[in-house]
Amino acid sequence: MTGDVPASPGVRRGWRGWAWGWVALGAAIMAWGGVFVLVLLVFASVGSPGDGDNALRSVRPLLLVTLSLTGTVALACVTASVLAFRLRRQPAGGGVALALLALLLLVLLIPSLTSRHTSVAGVLPATLPIWQVAGVQG
């Protein structure tokens, strides 16, 4: 007799009933947080000049783990956004998440988009190196 009772619509849907827009938005915020942690780790790995690369070597495992987790979260954000649009589950959240991810990508790509001949401030760099030994460029 209990097998004749139909399940509620929320139970039958399973993962299709999840709030994919909110999942995508959370993943986008986590991607921003991952980039923030990466920046902190890079700043922590900068040692004094002449110390070698010991500071970078000590932080390298954390950098690699954080980089892989941030990439995975960004991929999860794109996947959840697509599911939010396709399943019509909070598509506005999926759109905002994609916009946040695109903004993050733009912020990360700005240094590579600038010309190699000018600095970010727009001043031409010096043609000679800062240091010279007895007039010989080394």
* Whether the model pTM is above 0.85: no
pLDDT the model gives residue 109 = 87
Per run of 10 residues, the mean pLDDT along the chain (length 138 residues) is: 55 69 94 95 82 82 95 95 90 93 91 64 56 56
pLDDT the model gives residue 39 = 93
18: left (phi over 0), alpha (psi -120 to 50) or beta: beta
C-alpha closest to that of 35 among 7, 12, 62, 67: 67
CA atoms within 13 A on the CB side of 60: 6
Helix (H, G, I), strand (E, B) or coil at 121: coil
pLDDT the model gives residue 82 = 94
Question: What are the boundaries of each domain within the chain?
Answer: 17-47+54-104
Q: Which residues, other chains included, contact 48 with Cβ-Cβ below 8 Å and sequence gap of 6+?
A: none
What is the distance between the alpha carbons of residues 17 and 23, in angstroms, rounded to a whole number?
Answer: 12
